[in-house]
Structure 1
């Protein structure tokens, strides 16, 4: 197998192992566990997903230091996948929400850093074999989304989503991915950046950007949008499955294959990413990010009026607009950071962007979403329409504030590249 195909396989598996459980976890917890004492099951689910945010605050930097200075990057990647695979197996033994929280937290401590490590290894290997990284990596990375979708389909069509087999499936896939990582060309530790301080290694140097009003405003909104990003991961599957309690919807395709329906979101994501160059050139970063925020309003609002029966079209439309909601913020936001920061702290600034969205944003989103679901839960029945309309209102308020507060003048002559 040539090197490009090996990297395609690695990127496919990198996200395949996540798709096996990420979307179905919330629905499984909702059907299997009661709430943690003193809280609703909704809050328990929200905090469990929020644990990924806590892991994202420190573990990527720690394992990045090891890969940079002490151990070959592909070995760190492999070890991380193997350990994550072993840990997630213990989700099959979890008997309550508290135990599941700690299993997912520990799994995330080793899985979340692999996302950045996989990119780093892919870049290094492509450079080693003298490929044009910008042109070559994007079509390789697309296979990661394909892997995520196919894993979701397998979990759904086998109905592993309803039991612990999803975790066995993920465990085996993670261990296989880890073992395959060891077979990649060597990406040796170079003991680079020895003169950097510990704060620099953790990307804290980029916090100086908060002294710039424009950048401070941007990162705050990155955090607020990061919170929105987590909500449907947590509760989308639970929401659709809950329709099965109503005889009018029991047995419908949407209820029986909720994860399959949600997978349309990831398919939409692969399509919308192709439109970003046009939209950025035509409208500029601020407008594109506003489109993303308004797409989140539609994402949640369409969930609020949709159902797996006569309203299934609204669910499908919600999945379609997800592509715009997700891609237009994450890609354009990353490009904004790339363009507006000094090259000396650019990598740290990108790390700060990810920390605000996938770290702090995920933690806040988990708590906020969990409390909202708990607030609208009465007699163990969730008033989902109120839940989704509340989230839609949140996204609308964020969009209005962003339009008013964030100042950015678009220059149509700017050349924008989204290849990375």
Structure 2
């Protein structure tokens, strides 16, 4: 019964994120007439939220308040900010609301995990079955937008109907905010303990960077976030602009792929090792963007579909296997700090730089009429990912690590 309640929590948590973040670029460009740079600013709020999140969780949630109560308060605040985004008529009014929202939302990603782990007797066996409902929630949101409401159709976008995604997510956020207060108590684990800035941002794990292999992996992880930002920011506007029907619904194939390749990841890690697995992940980024650059909505639609479906390899084989590698390299006393450091470096710094570059490149290849030179836009991250892949291939020495995959 408790796992059912936790599954509902996970479903709503990622339904909310998937319900507005995927179509954000399309909405800003078409409804608020935002530039590429402004769209990059809006997406970079995710990075600011990721940078600030450890302070909220590490300095407040872990020391003073129950996780489920902070989760509830943050989602209730998020509902109000999401409704403000729904009402915004221009980017000037929209940006402060989305910045505030992401500062409130990003800490909840750690909090739902804390609530789930706190109620499980055997997290290693139980958590995956609960967490998968988060991915299902993201998928359902995309399918609803495309196939139930058709908010991402050309006619609906022209009528400003895509704005309704924010209202839908405001309602879901309010629901999760109330629901969180009904969840079992998850008291702060570090109550009475001294937790400083060093612990929060993972500075205790900096010693890992003395290891050449880990340093190469760490820098590659930051750099590969630049191509990643192009996908988050431009994929939905690209598919919509070139005439792919139900683009948001089709993009949920990426989440389905993520689940399937997560099951295949242990096989690859155990059979081919960490270097080969990471290289496959980076190669998938290169291939994905080449498919986007040369695909179209007609006879080459299959290229776009394959590019979307590669999301599982792109994400699982690099980022998830990277988390496993980080855990294997860290000492027992610095495992949490190491994960915090890599998360801050990638989703914080790496994505922040990535969204800024994606905005600049998008503006550079946008005509005065507002049409994009999509082939040039996608060839940039393809080339960038290829350079990162080559650097990693040459500088990362093969090693055998115990990944427990």
TM-score by length of 1: 0.90
How far off is 1:275 after superposition? 0.2
Q: 1:202-351 counterparts in 2 under 5 A?
A: 202-244=201-243, 254-255=244-245, 257-351=246-340
State the match for 2:125 in structure 1. 135
* Residue 147 (1) aligns with residue 141 (2): no
CA–CA distance in 1 between the matches of 2:146 and 2:286? Answer: 27
Task: Answer yes or no: is the 8 Å Cα contact 1:52–1:112 preserved in 2.
Answer: yes
1:159 matched residue in structure 2: 150
Per the alignment, residue 107 of structure 2 pairs with 113
Partner of 1:170: 169
Tell me how far apart the structure 1 counterparts of residues 146 and 361 of structure 2 sit (CA, whole Å).
27
Secondary structure of the residue aligned to 1:390 is helix
1:410 corresponds in structure 2 to: 400
Q: Which residue of 1 aligns with 2:180?
A: 181
Over 3 Å counting, the alpha-carbon distance change for 1:137 and 1:164 in structure 2 is same
Deviation (angstroms), 1:407:
2.0
Q: CA deviation at 1:9?
A: 0.9
Distance 1:188 1:334, change over 3 A: same
Check whether the contact 1:48–1:101 (CA below 8 A) recurs between aligned residues.
yes
Q: Give the Cα separation in 2 of the matches to 1:96 and 1:402.
A: 42
Matches within 5 A, 1:193-204: 194-204=193-203
Q: 1:381 aligns to what? A: 371
Cα deviation, residue 352, structure 1: 1.0
State the Cα distance separating 1:219 from its structure 2 match. 1.5
Q: Matched residues in 1 for 2:338 and 2:195: separation?
A: 16
Query: 1:174 Cα deviation (Å)?
Result: 0.7
Cα gap change, 1:355/1:190 in structure 2, threshold over 3 Å: closer, same or farther? Answer: closer
Partner residue of 1:355 out of 340, 344, 347: 344
For the Cα contact (< 8 Å) 1:64–1:117, is it kept in 2?
no
Normalised by the length of structure 2, the TM-score is 0.94
2:195, 2:40 → 1: CA distance?
A: 37
Shift of 1:389: 1.4
Matched, 1:391 2:395: no
Q: Where has structure 1 moved over 4 Å in runs of 4 or more?
A: none
